Chains A and B, each alone.
Chain A
Amino acid sequence: GQNIDQPTEMTATEGAIVQINCTYQTSGFNGLFWYQQHAGEAPTFLSYNVLDGLEEKGRFSSFLSRSKGYSYLLLKELQMKDSASYLCAVGNSGNTPLVFGKGTRLSVIA
């Protein structure tokens, strides 16, 4: 089976930096995904890590440590529009689709 844990809620200030952590336990690991989901909308792809290390994409970066079963999403220069849920998802080899964590609801305040 799989287990994915991430904090339920976080609050951060506009212009600041926030780190959203995700830990997972799985077999046949084949990548870790981060998705952003605004309330009532579809999840949209943010990042993908399959090797250890940091992937940077503009204001967003994602880090992976496979040995620790750990990832984080780093959001810099926070904007109000970044208020959303951030979903950590694990991909596996074989005929198994992405498994999502319950998501972290981020509130950006002025």
Chain B
Amino acid sequence: DSGVTQTPKHLITATGQRVTLRCSPRSGDLSVYWYQQSLDQGLQFLIQYYNGEERAKGNILERFSAQQFPDLHSELNLSSLELGDSALYFCASSVGNSRITGELFFGEGSRLTVL
């Protein structure tokens, strides 16, 4: 158990819909990262938050957004869903020194299926 909690574990929805994925980082970790993993692409970095502020942005679509709340949990919002958005979405946390990348602790992931 990494200490990172993600909900829901599985989600099935239809194209055009909107979903919210939730992540609670390890106690004491200030940084939260979101990654998308599909079969042919590997782990793709989406976005990072550090202590409530956006710190880095990767290949995140405009239809996707995220935030980190004062209690440090984070939500990833995916809207206008397309078939290609079906993937495993991982949240990871770290102690979060903003200048040095450290070991990441991953949650179990949220498997999104768009039909």
Contacts and interface: CB of A to CB of B under 8 A. Distances in A.
Interface of A: 30-31, 33, 40-45, 48, 87, 91-103
A98 B101 contact: yes
Interface residues on B, range: 20 to 34
Which secondary structure dominates chain A's binding surface? loop
Contact of B101 (A41, A87, A92): A92
B55 interface: yes
Q: Which of A42, A48, A101, A103 has the most CB of B within 10 A?
A: A42
B2 A42 contact: yes
A93 B102 CA distance: 10
B87 to A, nearest CB: 12
B101 A91 contact: yes
A-B residue pairs, 9 tightest by C-beta: A91-B101, A102-B42, A42-B106, A100-B43, A95-B56, A45-B103, A43-B106, A97-B48, A42-B108
